[in-house]
Structure 1
Amino acid sequence: MSSKSKTTSLDRRRFLTAAGATLAAPYLFIPRALAAQQVIVRTPGGAYDDIRREVIYDPFEKQTGIKVVPVAATTAKLLAMFKSGNVELDVIDTGDDPLVQLHKLGALLDIPYNEFKFTDPADLKPEFKRDYLVGNFIYASVLGYSMKAFAASSEPKSWQDFWDLEKFPGDRMLADIASGAANLEFALIADGVPMDKLYPLDIDRGFASMSRVRPAIKKFWDTGALSTQMLADGEVDLGSVWHTRIANIIQEGAPLAIQWNQHMMLVQAYSIFKDARNRDAAVKFVDFCVSPDVQAEFCKRWNAGPVNRKAFDKLPKEMLARVPGSPELADKGFVLDAEWWADNRQAVSQKWSTWILGG
């Protein structure tokens, strides 16, 4: 085997390890659309697709004649298709970390922004626009807390407060590495690192800071559902949580609140497979999805932040104070560096494996 082949093989194995998934069957069962044209889109499925069917998929088909076929697929299956040379998906709608990994393997098309008709690429927030991906929506990891545990004006206002076990007592939670990434950024902020100086992360310093708060951590959560359930049930009083999750249960009446100071912005994004069978339809779909009206309508339903700056003008004013990326919250957060995590996740995972056992 050539040196190049060995490197490619190793990179693919690392991708699977980073994704935390075992390689499943290399092919997906994808229903063939009845329309003359179609675009096959990888999505998370569930309630997400229910909303998108109403505000994106059906309007797109009505306007273009192109049928949208959503398919749920793991990152392992995405890699399996690329590895087998049988790419059955056109568009990938997922977090940016798997897209960084696929890009490094040469699987993704450079997005032809010059072909966009629905969207002016200049309106897209530059931090969520790259050659091989464009943001779908912005979400955030925030400090969530119980309003029963902390009265108004006495709530934690920073990650330094979260780390202060005497002034702010109570059971806590943070993200497990199995959630995608440990909360090293918050640990470093608590240790005095400014938000704009976080990357490259000082891994050892981050874990040393995590050790100081660990006695109060009741559990490291590995899913968004678990984190919100722990807060809702009163199992913990405060912790890191994805804002879309906690926002939903707050709307349902849960006595919880979000501290937006020092939040971390993440992005759900689109990429197009380089060997997409429906390449032109894929470009039209992505273009349509990031247009101002579509962005605004979806983000209103999903409690998320748009990547198209003009979409903020179309959101209700009261919503601007509770979606990441908005002008009101712009100076209160930072953007997770997915490329740093893609390059360093293995090193962090190895350190985590020892640290979590008390080593």
Structure 2
Amino acid sequence: MGGATLLAAPYVLKGKALAAGQVIVRTPGGVYDEIMRKNVYDPFTEATGITVVPVAATVAKLLAMFESGNVELDLIDTGEGPLIQLERKGALTPIDYGSWKLSKPENITEEYKSEFRVTDFAYATVLAYNTDTFKGDAHPDNWPDFWDAEKFPGPRMLADMATGTPNLEFALIADGVALKDLYPLDVDRAFKSLSRIRPAITRFWDTGALSAQLMTDAEVVTGSIWNGRLQAVMDKGAPLSFTWNQHMLQLQQVAIFKDSPNVAEAQQLIDFMMQPSVQAGYGAALRYSPSNTKAFDLIDPKIVEQMPGNPATRDKAFVQNVAWWEDNRDAINKRWSSWILG
């Protein structure tokens, strides 16, 4: 769900975008847009007459828009980190929960909403393994197991700093830290833990595509991976599986640019997309977890089982504290750059 190159087409539409009855939405692009078009944008237009124009834009472009005073977008749909950056710069308008007519704010998971941001879905980083290598129940089932390369031998992978957040949380869990006690992260302890498992790490992956390819090709036989990337290759028959134990929930959120051209329409779109029935549609298509707890009842139970943070596995998960990462990213980046060189 990272940034993409700003498309040229939105500038052709810019004049129209400033007219009433439209919402310009920053999205990740690609297949994601197709899913949201089918489940959110077109139904919203049919119900309200308001046109939705999706635009792919980098985080840098979003920041530049605000700093230049030339805001060309209304709704931002992206990861939690960029929205925290924008919020701290005063670039966002509060979510008008009180105006919701289609959705109920109290049905949105409490950890998933704040004054300026609300989650449209949650994805996760999970512990995956190769079922040809680890047969039956004899597989790593938690992060301490993953760190035990003698009991569960084989090449491994973890996330690189280039993903935005290397797996310091998993390193601490493997070292005995409880999920509820992870933050603030003990950085020294995390790197000591990473150093213990490093000889068994074949690759530190920097993209979701690479992580899925490494697992599919059996270049590694266990590792951290985003659940959506893993599910996609499992659905194609790759001999892989995973555990929900100690999975890390990460949030995709929406927010409204301060002084955007169509604030009222953007507020309406948020209300629309938070409905249980709407979230059930795009949540099932993405295999990511809806933020509205009532949506789970409308999704095939077999698909719910594939969703992170679902009702049966929520107590095995923790929500990544992205605010902590935004506060400490530069320091961790320097530490990582030194550590990775050995």
Would you say same fold, with TM above 0.5? yes
Give unpaired runs (5+ residues) of structure 2.
Answer: none
Match of 1:31 in 2: 13
Q: 1:174 touches 1:183 (CA, 8 Å); kept in 2?
A: yes
The counterpart of 1:206, out of the listed 183, 190, 193, is 190
> Is 1:126 aligned to 2:117, yes or no?
no
- 1:197-255, Cα deviation, whole Å (9 max, x unpaired): 00000011101100001011111111111101110111110110000110111111111
Q: Is the 8 A contact 2:20 2:262 kept in 1?
A: no
Q: Which residue does 1:149 correspond to in 2?
A: 133
Distance 2:252 2:26 in 1: 12
SS in 1 for 2:11: coil
Partner of 1:344: 328
Question: C-alpha separation between the residues in 2 aligned to 1:24 and 1:260?
Answer: 36
Corresponding residue of 1:357: 341
Task: Give the AA of the match of 2:234.
Answer: I
Do 1:143 and 1:239's aligned partners in 2 also have CA atoms closer than 8 Å?
Answer: yes
Number of aligned residue pairs: 339
Shift in Å, 1:52:
1.1
What is the aligned partner in structure 2 of residue 46 from structure 1? 30
Is the CA contact (8 Å cut-off) linking 2:6 and 2:57 kept in structure 1? no
Deviation of 1:258 (Å):
1.3
- Map of 1:4 onto structure 2: none
Higher deviation after alignment, 35-44 or 237-246? 35-44
- The percent of aligned pairs where both chains have the same amino acid is 52
Structure 2 partner of 1:280: 264
**Given that residues 56 and 294 in structure 1 are in contact (C-alpha distance below 8 angstroms), is that contact kept between their aligned partners in structure 2?**
yes
Residue 30 of structure 1: how far off its partner (Å):
5.6
Residue aligning to 1:113: 97
Q: Paired residue for 1:303?
A: 287
**Corresponding residue SS for 1:173:** strand
Provide the secondary structure at the position in 1 that maps to 2:22.
strand
- Unmatched 5+ residue regions in structure 1? 1-19
Structure 2 residue 204 is the aligned partner of structure 1 residue 220: yes
> Does structure 2 conserve the Cα–Cα contact (< 8 Å) formed by 1:306 and 1:325?
no
2:291 maps to amino acid: V
**Equivalent residue letter for 1:37:** G
Hey, what's the Cα distance between the residues in 1 that align with 2:108 and 2:33?
Answer: 23
Aligned to 1:229, which of 207, 213, 221?
A: 213
Displaced runs of 4 or more, over 3 A: 32-36
Residue 90 (1) aligns with residue 88 (2): no
Whole-Å separation in 1 of the counterparts to 2:20 and 2:68:
27
Pairing 1:163-178 to 2, within 5 Å after superposition = 163-178=147-162
**Aligned-partner SS, 2:304:** helix
8 Å CA contact retained: 1:24, 1:76: no
Q: Report the TM-score, using the length of structure 2 for normalisation.
A: 0.95
Distance 1:191 1:128 in 2: 28
Report if the CA contact (8 A) 1:43-1:72 is conserved.
yes
- Of residues 317, 325, 335 in structure 2, which corresponds to 1:333? 317
CA RMSD of aligned residues (A): 2.0
1:246 maps to what in 2?
Answer: 230
Q: Structure 2: which amino acid aligns with 1:314?
A: L
SS in 2 for 1:275: coil
Contact 2:93 2:256 in 1 (8 A): yes
Structure 2 counterpart of 1:104, from 83, 88, 101: 88
Paired with 1:24 and 1:329, the residues of 2 have a C-alpha distance of: 37
Output the CA distance in 2 between the equivalents of 1:317 and 1:189.
30
* More moved, 319-328 vs 55-64: 319-328
